[in-house]
Amino acid sequence: MNIIISLHELQLIDNSIVRINRVLENLRNKMSTDPEGVQLLLKVASVRSSIEAINTELTKVTREITNRQIKYSQNDSALYGGKISSSKELQELQSENAHLKEQIPIFEEQLMSLMVKLEETKSVETQLAAEIELHTDQRSQFLIQLAEETAIHKQELGNYQSQRSSLWETLPQDVQTTYTSLRKAKSGIAVTEVKDDSCGTCGADISKSEIQQTHGGSIVTCQGCGRIIFAR
């Protein structure tokens, strides 16, 4: 086979290998990261800490109510127990109880609204748990699909790699060296195709005689970008 045709074919194979490796890299990333799942777990953590805070507040308010109720009934017993005769003392007890009677409903109202808030937050937690379950199911399906795609692309990659080695062996060593160093220096593209008498990569003019030389199997490089010219 004409060396230029082989080099062009080699370039096409290498392009495919690069493309498949990119696809495989992309698949690996998709398999290893789960931003949606992480978002859901963060939401659960935040909801749980809210529930904890509400429970702490509930305990506190309940204690405020209980303490006042105890105090109220102690005062009540003292008032009607007959042991206290000082009218000043009795008046103080009465006024303290009147104050307690006003305070207790205020705390009871706080307690009610905290309980409502707790119910609402718990229902958000339940909803999130359902979302996580659904997400986990979908994620496993997705991972299976990604694994299948990976297997297909690995197979394809293997085919290209074996085609490449067979073709590589047919090339003289100096041509191999030229191709390898050009690929390295020119962003992976060592061979450029001529389109409408100009370089398909950089657009520089390619003369008819240059095209003829490549048809004869000579390595001619583009005057503009230095890549090996291939013309059909």
Comparing CB distances to Zn ion, the nearer of 10 and 189 is 189
β-partners of residue 229 are 192
Closest CA to 122 of 54, 56, 189, 178: 54
Type of residue at 195:
K
Site string for Zn ion, 142-181 (x = CB under 5 A): ----------------------------------------
Q: Helix, strand or coil for residue 191? A: strand
In the chain, DSSP finds a helix count (H) and a strand count (E) of 5, 3
107 Rama sector, left if φ>0, alpha if ψ -120 to 50, beta otherwise: alpha
10 binds Zn ion (CB under 5 A): no
Least distance (Å) from Zn ion to the CB of residue 138? 48
Comparing CB distances to Zn ion, the nearer of 102 and 196 is 196
Among the candidate windows 26-34, 35-43, 163-171, 197-205, which touches Zn ion by CB under 5 A?
A: 197-205
Comparing CB distances to Zn ion, the nearer of 44 and 225 is 225
Choosing from 61, 199, 206, 231, the residue that interacts with Zn ion (CB under 5 A) is 199
Contact present, 170 and 1 (Cβ < 8 Å): yes
Contact present, 111 and 76 (Cβ < 8 Å): no
Q: Which of residues 202-231 bind Zn ion (CB under 5 A)?
A: 202, 204, 222, 224-225
Residues that bind Zn ion (CB under 5 A): 199, 201-202, 204, 222, 224-225
